[in-house]
Amino acid sequence: MNATYHSGSNTMTKPLILQIGSFNGHAPADGELAERYEVLEYWKATDKVAFLREHANRIEVVATTANFGCGTEMIAALPKLRAICTWGVGYDKIDLESAATRKILVSNTPDVLNDCVADIAWGLLLACARDIGWGDRFVRENHWENKTGHLPLGARVSGKKLGIVGLGRIGEAIARRGLGFDMQVSYHNRNARADVPYTYQASLLELARDSDFMVLATVGGASTKHLINEEIMRALGPEGRLINIARGSVIDEPAMVRLLVSGELGGAGLDVFEDEPKVPDQLKTLNSVVLMPHVASATHETRRAMTDCVLENLHSFFTQGKIVTPII
């Protein structure tokens, strides 16, 4: 459905979209959406139920983010919905089943963020193994100058064993970087892939036993909830380090905290958490842990590309009834 507005002497129509949450991870994005579309800003509505009731029958397209998603209730509340375009690659907060049943198209922003997410996975891995965060704090707090203590020795990265859980497009970008560090790269997926040079490990437990660094790059959601449980983390062990750029839900977080505190898990580099933005306080006290506030895709270049991808999907839907990067 379109809204009519006047620009100079021309009467133009802007298609309508419901934007569930701000794309504030990329400053220009909300403005660029508003230039092209009549945007209903759901997140600003004080009475959300009344807001949806008022507009539901006009809404055919939703723009959202990996963080806000578009859940069962939202889809049910929008009887005319035909397309959901999300900013981000993750779709664990979108009810794909409901969307499929109603033949609603769903797009995400794949590929454009592979490299930057893989870079952060590696940043966390290196920082964790070589105590880069700890070293930075040590210098800033003047322990080096004042000769108050010293950093422990780190763990060598080059030539070690890298285990990747979820060898999709991001997992592959992480694996490729591992080859540059002369690492032996193995992976666990539901099925082996014939098109990659890495060793397939059908058992996640075996992968954990046999990895120095285990990097999580799976999808989130119910299918992977607490995939990394206590047994897996114990198998990774006191010399092992767990890196997560996937979703917090993939790890049993309380178990991870216990094992990190006791030293039964050697370290962790985490960009994502179970209940963001809450991070367990105990993690903040541990030097074996490196913490980031869910920013793996947060570079100028990648966020620009993510916004462009959403704009392209919206444009394609409104002009041709198709989306460019479909999840379904």
Binding site for ligand 8YV (CB under 6 A): 25, 65-67, 87-90, 113, 294, 297
Contact predicate 124/117, CB 8 Å:
no
Is 247 one of the catalytic residues?
Answer: yes
Active-site residue, 294 included: yes
Asked if 113 and 305 touch (Cβ cutoff 8 Å), the reply is yes
Distance of CA 50 to the CA centre of its chain: 31
Give the C-alpha separation, 302 to 305, whole Å.
5
**What is the distance of C-alpha 24 from the center of its chain?**
15
The smaller minimum CB distance to ligand 8YV, of residues 114 and 288, is found at 114
Q: Would you call 278 exposed, middle or buried from its count of C-beta atoms within 10 A (0-12, 13-18, 19+)?
A: exposed
Name the helix (H) or strand (E) containing 36: helix 29-36
Q: Which is nearer to ligand 8YV, 40 or 66 (CB)?
A: 66
Q: Smaller CB distance to ligand 8YV: residue 66 or 235?
A: 66
CA distance 48 to 54: 10
Which among 247, 253, 274, 303 is annotated as catalytic?
A: 247
Nearer to ligand 8YV, 68 or 213 (CB): 68
Which of 102, 276, 300, 301 is an active site residue? 276
Q: Are 271 and 297 spatial neighbours (Cβ–Cβ below 8 Å)?
A: no
- The answer to whether 300 is a known catalytic residue is no
193 closest CA partner among 161, 164, 232, 223: 164
Q: Return the number of the residue (188 or 294) whose C-beta is nearest ligand 8YV.
A: 294
Least gap, CB of 227 to ligand 8YV (angstroms):
17
Hey, is 214 helix, strand or coil?
Answer: strand
Produce one character per residue of 205-233: b if its CB has 16 or more CB atoms within 10 Å, e if not: eebbbbbbbbbbbbebbeebeebbebebb
Active site members? 247, 276, 294
